[in-house]
Amino acid sequence: MAWSYTNLVIEIIAGLLGSHAAATAVREYGFGAFGHTMAGALGGAFSGCFLQRLVATTVTASGGLNEPTELENAILQALAGAISGGILMLLVGFIKHSTDARP
């Protein structure tokens, strides 16, 4: 699968949604809507730039490459963006919470 800007946009938007979902699930580590949006966009952009080809790579049992359909590719890219956006938001939230708790 070739790298494309469409997949990058899918991952950035999914990263935004994933970061806000993670912020809703773990409220004590939240740091504001703007911060969640920036963390999600950065997480999705990182995933879209560096992990885009790896996400859609599937190998069959015989060792051959299995090309996903367009719908499967969009779903895989959206999941990768949402997960990376959520992880980055939680990581920043944990760091911010631990530095705020120190005397």
- How does pLDDT run along the chain (103 residues), one tens digit per residue? 677 899 899 999 999 999 999 999 998 888 889 999 999 999 999 988 888 788 777 787 888 888 888 898 899 899 999 999 999 999 999 999 888 867 6
Paired tokens of 39: 């963390």
SS3 12: helix
What is the pTM for the complete model shown?
0.85
CA distance 51 to 37: 20
pLDDT at 103 (0 to 100): 67
For residue 61, with 0-12 CB atoms within 10 Å meaning exposed, 13-18 middle and 19 or more buried, which class applies? exposed
DSSP bridge pairs for 65:
59
**pLDDT at position 54, please?**
82
Question: d(Cα 85, Cα 22) in Å, to the nearest integer?
Answer: 9
Residue 90: per-residue pLDDT = 93
